[in-house]
Amino acid sequence: MTQPVPPPHSPEPSSHQPPGDRPPGQQPGYGFPMAPQAAPPKVNIAGGIVVAVITALVVGAAYGGILGATKHEFGYAAVAVGFIIGFATGKVGGDHVGLAAVGAVLSLASVYFGQLFGEAIVAAKELPVSVPELFFQHFGLLNDAWRADADFLSYLFIAIAAGASFAGMKRAL
C-alpha cells in the first residue's frame, strides 16, 4: 500500500515580520520582488505629423514620377506609399491613434497627389506646357483629366493606401 502524500501547502504570509523590516519592493511574506513597471511609451505627436507631411510629399512625388514615366498605374506602388508614410509616422511619432489617422489621411492625399503629378507629366509630354504650369495654373483641367482617366482601380488604390498606412505604423512599433 502506498501512503498518501499530503498536498503541498501554499506559503502563508508571515505576520510576525513588521512592514518596516522588509526589503523594498517585496510583498509581505512571499520573498519575491515585485515586477518592475514598464516605461510609458514615448509619443512625439508634433514630430510624427511633420515627418508624415514630409514623407507624404516626397513619396507622392516619387509615385507620380513612376506613373508619369511608365504611363501605368501600379497597385503595389500605392500600397508602398501608404506603408512608407505609416512606417515613418510610427517610427518618429510613436503609438498614438491621432497619428495613425493623420498617416492614413496623408496617404490618401499622397496617392491622389501622385496620380495627378503623373497625369501632369504625361500631359506635359504631349502638350506644349510644363508640369508646374499644368499643376499650378491649370489644376482644374488636370483634375478633370484625372477624373476622366480614373477607374474603379484608381479609387481602390487610394483606399488601400490608407489601410497600408495603418499596417506600416504597426510595423514600426
Cell for 151? 477607374
Q: What is the pLDDT of residues 93-107, one digit of tens each?
A: 988 899 999 999 999
Tell me the C-alpha distance between 63 and 73, whole Å: 9
pLDDT of residue 37: 80
Based on the number of CB atoms within 10 Å of its own CB, is 155 exposed (0-12), middle (13-18) or buried (19 or more)?
exposed
CA distance from start to end of the chain: 60
Question: Which positions of the chain have pLDDT values less than 70?
Answer: 1-3, 6-32
Tell me the C-alpha distance between 46 and 48, whole Å: 5
CB 45 within 8 A of CB 89: no
